[in-house]
Amino acid sequence: MNKKKVFIGMSGGVDSSVAALLLKQRGYDVTGVYMKNWAKDIPGFLCPWEEDLRDADAVAAQIGIDLKVFDFEKQYHDKVVEYMLEGYQAGLTPNPDIMCNQEIKFKLFLDTSKEEGAELIATGHYSRIRDGRLLKAIDDSKDQSYFLYRVTSQALKQSLFPLGELKKTEVRAIAEKTGLITARKKDSVGICFVGQVGIKEFLSQFVQTKSGPIVNQHGQTIGEHDGAIFYTIGQRHGLGVGGGLPYYVVDKDILKNIVYVTTDLDDERLWSDRLKLINLHWIKDQPKVAKIYQIRARYQSPLIKAKLLSLEEKNTTLELKKPLKAAAPGQSAVIYDGDVVLGGGIITI
């Protein structure tokens, strides 16, 4: 029996519920922790934190473990929400889930748990850990290693991912078989901390925007948008300009408040054969220049082969073996060596 003391983040969803159950079955001394990161409602959207906390508490009682609540609202706002708002206002497409893992789950949660006596932390992420390295999950369709590339090797050595060797269908089956109340609970969608609310509705509560022109590839104004910051490169839906071929966002000018679109799928602004990265993070093994790796430029997008042309903090370039559609500044490009996540950086122009 492994009696190491583990604090596991429990969100009230099926994944973290099963992860906690598996740790208990494996003999760990398990304590559940609900991280209260956001509790504000957005007009038209109720924040689900109270319901999620009730579900986490009920599951903890079912499997016979204690549940604590860590209130991280202030730190979350300062480290994640502000990062997201500043990114969008600068015309970028930031990823709050990646920043949450870097700053909250595998830094603040880890440190707070250790202060309260934990030896290890755990989460319901679909990924694997081996010798301080991060690996893809067995279930490719649920693999979350993309969101975890900025976690440190030292944090990974103190973490457990009980679901990394399982498929999602197996996790649901375990929950059903053991009668967990979250067995049929739907997976959360939308912004990581607000639930069903979309980016546009969320941003509208914090930034002032105004309408502006939508300009096509011929320089013609074909419509009006309600704020350039709401749009991202490659976006097709929600433009409000119909008729004929679909339009895709290929650029935006935040200062002039203009959104540029095209119906031409061969428009060079829609495709990238090279990516420049900044704000690099390597988990353990730094990649080698001139070697071919695989990269992922957004969650669940196909892996693309790429050669590392340069490796400097402000001059890191990847040459893609096939063009990538809609690479948006602010998104992350994550570098894989087989199943191992080496790290990555933020895409820049």
Residue 192 pLDDT greater than 60, yes or no: no
User: Are 308 and 251 within one domain?
Assistant: no
The CATH number of the domain where 217 resides is what? 2.30.30.280
192 catalytic per annotation = yes
Question: Active site residue: 59, 98, 99, 100, which one?
Answer: 100
Which one of 134, 161, 178 terminates a domain?
A: 178
CA 158 from centroid of its chain's CA atoms: 21
User: Are 246 and 328 within one domain?
Assistant: no
Which CA distances in Å does 75 have to 78, 103, 233, 241, 310?
A: 5, 9, 30, 40, 35
User: Are 34 and 170 within one domain?
Assistant: yes
Residue 320 pLDDT greater than 70, yes or no: yes
User: Are 276 and 255 within one domain?
Assistant: no
User: Are 50 and 132 within one domain?
Assistant: yes
Give tens-digit pLDDT for 246-300.
Answer: 999 999 999 999 999 999 999 999 999 999 999 999 999 899 999 999 999 999 9
User: Are 13 and 161 within one domain?
Assistant: yes
Q: Is residue 117 part of a domain?
A: yes
Of the ranges 18-27, 156-165, 308-317, 319-328, which one carries the lowest mean pLDDT score?
308-317
The CATH number of the domain where 12 resides is what? 3.40.50.620
Q: Is residue 267 part of a domain?
A: no
- The range of the structural domain enclosing residue 110 comes to 5-178
As a whole number of angstroms, the distance between CA 336 and CA 136 comes to 9
For residue 257, which of 223, 227, 233, 230 has the smallest C-alpha distance? 227
User: Are 217 and 120 within one domain?
Assistant: no
Q: Is residue 131 part of a domain?
A: yes
Q: Is the pTM of this model over 0.85?
A: yes
Phi, psi dihedral angles at 105 (to 5 degrees): -70, -40
The band of 191, judged by pLDDT with boundaries at 50, 70 and 90, is: low
The band of 154, judged by pLDDT with boundaries at 50, 70 and 90, is: very high
Average pLDDT over residues 315-324: 94
- For the record, the structure tokens of 334 come out as 């994550």
User: Are 23 and 158 within one domain?
Assistant: yes
User: Are 228 and 288 within one domain?
Assistant: no
Give tens-digit pLDDT for 193-250.
Answer: 555 667 888 888 899 899 999 999 999 999 999 999 999 999 998 898 877 899 999 9
47 catalytic per annotation = no
Phi, psi dihedral angles at 324 (to 5 degrees): -105, 130
Question: Active site residue: 22, 42, 192, 250, which one?
Answer: 192
User: Are 218 and 330 within one domain?
Assistant: no
Count of domains for the chain: 3
User: Are 246 and 138 within one domain?
Assistant: no
As a whole number of angstroms, the distance between CA 229 and CA 204 comes to 10
User: Are 225 and 95 within one domain?
Assistant: no
The band of 176, judged by pLDDT with boundaries at 50, 70 and 90, is: very high
